[in-house]
Structure 1
Amino acid sequence: MSDLDYPDDLRYTTDHEWIRVGADGMVRIGITAFAQDALGDVVYVSLPAAGETVAVGDACGEVESTKSVSDVYAPLEGEVTAVNPALDATPELINSDPYGEGWMFEMKLADSSALEALMDSETYQASLT
């Protein structure tokens, strides 16, 4: 695992999603380096629609790779405010830049205190062993 990156400024889920909290309180969500590495080459991404309300644990999208199709789960409750339009044409951004250009969607949280239940980088990495 040591060759994969897990930035300290993000929160993580057991479903291998990362969450970045923006200055405006919005959160940006994607899948971790571990998840994209396990999936292999990503060829298609299905994401929730902007305006859709999701609950924790809802399957709200899919990532299709050359190896498999995996659900993307909502890590928090809230309203989807934006999806990454670049993934339509270049889904491989999830592989090449999972924490940057490969982000999946943004949400306005129903309750920001829910972030406290998510893992920090160290705890997430320990869960992978």
Structure 2
Amino acid sequence: MAELRGCRFPEDLRYDPANHLWFAAEADDVWRVGVTPFGVAIAGEILLFTPKPARRTLTAGRAFGLLEAGKTVFPVKTPVDATLVEGNDALSHSAALMNTDAYAAWLVRLRIAPADATSHLLSWEEARVGITAQMDLWRFDDLQGFQAPLLGEGAKGLHG
């Protein structure tokens, strides 16, 4: 288990640093997707997640659901072309688990072509540089001491 500035990053997962997402491989080209602890920290307290309907085809950069944190609602986007297999409907009632264990609360399951997964989803070692750069951008020194800013024009990579 890797750790960076107080955030855990399991080395068996894949990452999308720009969107603060983790990806866990399942069977048949399906990936379970969630928000990294760093992503949760910069969003502030996450309240709810509302997924788009299952079986929807998504192009890279399209939202697969909406995340509500405090008074802000923003889309969560896929970095690759994918098919939405399933959303975690339990998070539409409460996503509080994400605030305490980001890896226990997955958002969606996406079917991703193997070539896209290989070329776009990064190993921990590949993602480390991008995650560090994002942490520097947010002036994120440590998980315990970080105060999430109010999201708005300054939100980097969480919406737009």
TM-score using structure 1 length? 0.87
Give percent identity, aligned residues only. Answer: 28
- Tell me how far 1:79 sits from its aligned partner: 1.5
Which string of whole-angstrom CA distances, capped at 9 and with x for unpartnered residues, describes residues 93-120 of structure 1? 22222112x10011222x2111122221
| Aligned partner (choices 2, 7, 15) of residue 5 of structure 2 | 2
Which residue is 2:146 aligned to?
none
Distance 1:24 1:51 in 2: 15
Superposed structure 1 runs of 4+ greater than 6 Å apart: none
Unpaired stretches in structure 2, ≥5 consecutive residues: 133-160
Counterparts in 2 of 1:1-129, with a 5 A limit? 1-13=4-16, 14-66=18-70, 68-100=72-104, 102-109=105-112, 111-117=113-119, 118-129=121-132
Secondary structure at 2:8 match in 1: coil
How far apart, in 1, do the equivalents of 2:90 and 2:48 lie? 12
Residues paired across the two proteins, number: 127
**1:67–1:2 distance in 2 versus 1, CA, 3 Å:** farther
Determine helix, strand or coil for the equivalent of 2:98: helix
RMSD, aligned α-carbons: 1.7
**Distance in 2 of aligned mates of 1:79 and 1:127:** 26
Taking the aligned partners of 2:66 and 2:13, their CA distance within structure 1 comes to: 22
Range 34-43 or range 66-75, more displaced:
66-75
In structure 1, stretches of 5+ residues that fail to align are: none
